[in-house]
Amino acid sequence: MRIHVLGICGTFMGSLAILARQLGLEVSGSDENVYPPMSIQLEQQGIPVHVGYDAAALDSSPDLVVIGNALARGNPAVEAVLDRGLRYCSGPEWLARELIDGRHVIAVAGTHGKTTTTSMIAWLLECAGESPGFLIGGVPRNFDVSARLGSGRHFVVEADEYDTAFFDKRSKFVHYRPRTLVMNNLEFDHADIFDDLGQIQTQFHHLVRTVPATGLILSPEREAALSEVLDRGCWSRQAEVHGVLENRRTAAPESGWWGRMLSPDGSEFEVGYGGDAHGRVQWPHCGRHNVANALMAIAAVADLGVDPAEAARFMGEFAGVKRRLEVFGRFNDLTLYDDFAHHPTAIASTLQGLRRRVGNESVLVILEPASNTMKRGIHRAQLPASWAAADAVYWYQPEGISWVPDAAQNGVPVVGFAAVEDIVQRVVGERRRWRHVVVMSNGGFGGLHAKLADALAPLA
């Protein structure tokens, strides 16, 4: 069987293409935004990618066209599919029908931490000998691939609330029918398809409705938006998750899951249930948000039979996810990072964790407003507070973005740039000023990471 994937370089659609290839299908795809790490994964899997959405890519008349949610009516490839009467479906529909039907699905939803928590759960199940399948919206470094079939009964999926396709406006995650559902948090995002938080909560309510009574739902007790979702109706078991305790002096709750920070930067923490501690984690990652993600992952696999003490030990071997405060290169005293954060809460969590780790060393943030929500300026009032832990921000403002963030709130200077090359030149000129340079974008940023590395390497 031959399938062609439209939008194949998206994190979800690319992972789906890899799974289809592992099934033994002949797979090809089209996309107009082709950049690492997905482009590298597809090349390694032997999946050809047609650059652009012209109809010529469909001249081979594939047996099925899987259409990503980034494509709309008027797209040449979409119009060709409809005009030629080719069979088509959405990515989530194909995944549910061909791969996860009959398996124990663990779905991870929420505004932040989905990719990391999904990767953690897959890793913990792998260490426990369960050989899970997974589809992740990023590349977990323990596996170096974003998706695999697995041979076990579990399938772990990053459950995105974005819409499914131009012909199916439900959130992707309603297709997955999880037996274990992790909901990390919930804030307003995706302003291009949702008008307000209430609309997103309705989609989460639909997701909750799909979990069987014998299934399990995990969510932090202090997440008001998620509590409102569950108050609309919940027919499944719920795990009590209290969240992260700030230090050794904070008393543990009498019941429910908790984590405890043992170091200020989160590189060491404890996990427990009720009055009992079950394990201690030492790892190379930082940030309270990562501790919270790990707590949810350990709680989820505990319900699947993985001993929490063992899970804590396995978590110490978790290598992280590419593009999550990933070290891109070191050049004398300057460390260059690649980070996916593109929402004020995620930006703040990442930078706070880094600040706690590096102390008073200088931190420069280079930020691309790449998401639809960021481009529209929906979070412009919240952005200055989100980078309060940085020393300066270089703001990328290409043609089409007319607004600039207000830097007056916290005194962190913001410098605007219209071209990637100008950013490279500025950083190279100031290379002795900065110890940590964090590039933040959920897009390709015009290859800025590689251009910076190429410019800095000869000077190191």
| DSSP character string of 211-247 | S-TTSEEEEETT-HHHHHHHHT---SEEEEEEEEE-S
The reported pLDDT for the residue numbered 409 is 65
- Tell me how far CA of residue 58 lies from CA of 3, 76, 87, in angstroms: 10, 11, 12
Residues of the chain with CATH 3.90.190.20: 326-459
Element (H, E) at 164: strand 163-165
* pLDDT tens-digit map of 279-319: 999 999 999 899 999 999 999 999 999 999 999 999 999 99
Interior/surface letters 97-124, b for 16+ CB within 10 angstroms, e for the rest: ebbbeebbbbbbbbbbbbbbbbbbbbbb
The reported pLDDT for the residue numbered 234 is 97
* pLDDT tens-digit map of 140-196: 999 988 999 999 999 999 999 999 999 999 999 999 999 999 999 999 888 788 999
CA–CA gap between residue 302 and residue 296 (Å, rounded): 10
The reported pLDDT for the residue numbered 40 is 86
Give me 13's structure tokens.
């659609």
Q: Are 401 and 375 in contact (CB under 8 A)?
A: yes
| Cis before 308 (ω within 30) | no
DSSP 3-state percent helix, strand, coil across the chain (nearest 5): 35, 25, 40
The percent of residues above 90 in pLDDT, for the chain, comes to 76
How confident is residue 410, by pLDDT bands cut at 50, 70 and 90?
A: confident
The reported pLDDT for the residue numbered 351 is 94
Residues of the chain with CATH 3.40.50.720: 2-93
Provide mean pLDDT across the span 77-87: 97
Provide mean pLDDT across the span 208-233: 96
Q: Is the pLDDT of residue 119 over 70?
A: yes
Dihedral sign (CA 343, 352, 225, 121): positive
Nearest to 10 by CA among 126, 101, 90: 90
What's the CA angle centered on 434, arms 433 and 436, to 5 degrees?
Answer: 170
CA–CA gap between residue 336 and residue 437 (Å, rounded): 5
Q: Are 177 and 45 in contact (CB under 8 A)?
A: no
Give the range among 347-351, 357-361, 369-373 with minimum mean pLDDT: 369-373
Q: Is the pLDDT of residue 36 over 90?
A: no
Predicted TM-score (pTM) of this structure:
0.90
Q: Is the pLDDT of residue 407 over 70?
A: no
CATH 2.60.120.10 given to domain 2-93 = no
CATH 3.40.640.10 given to domain 102-315 = no
The helix/strand count (H/E) of the chain reads as 14, 23
- Residue 392: left (phi > 0), alpha (psi -120 to 50), or beta? beta
Average pLDDT over the chain reads 92
Token pair 């029908």 is found at 97
Nearest to 92 by CA among 177, 202, 33: 177
CA–CA gap between residue 234 and residue 15 (Å, rounded): 31
CA–CA gap between residue 40 and residue 22 (Å, rounded): 16
| DSSP character string of 249-274 | TSPPPSSSEEEEESSTTSSEEEEEET
What's the CA angle centered on 154, arms 163 and 159, to 5 degrees?
Answer: 15
Provide mean pLDDT across the span 331-352: 90
Nearest to 399 by CA among 422, 373, 375: 375
CA–chain centroid gap for 21, Å, is 23
Spelled out in words, what is the top-level CATH class assigned to the domain 326-459? Answer: alpha beta
CA–CA gap between residue 156 and residue 105 (Å, rounded): 6
- First-to-last CA distance in the chain? 51
Q: Cβ-count burial of 402 within 10 angstroms (0-12 exposed, 13-18 middle, 19+ buried)?
A: exposed
CA–CA gap between residue 1 and residue 149 (Å, rounded): 18
CB-based contacts of 393, cutoff 8 Å, min separation 6: 364, 365, 366, 367, 387, 405, 407, 412, 413, 414, 415
Residues of the chain with CATH 3.40.1190.10: 102-315
Q: Is the pLDDT of residue 408 over 70?
A: no
CB-based contacts of 68, cutoff 8 Å, min separation 6: 5, 6, 7, 8, 10, 12, 13, 91, 165
Tell me the Cα Rg of the chain.
22
Write down the H helix ranges in 53-212: 76-84, 91-95, 114-127, 197-209
Number of neighbouring beta carbons within 10 Å of residue 220? 20
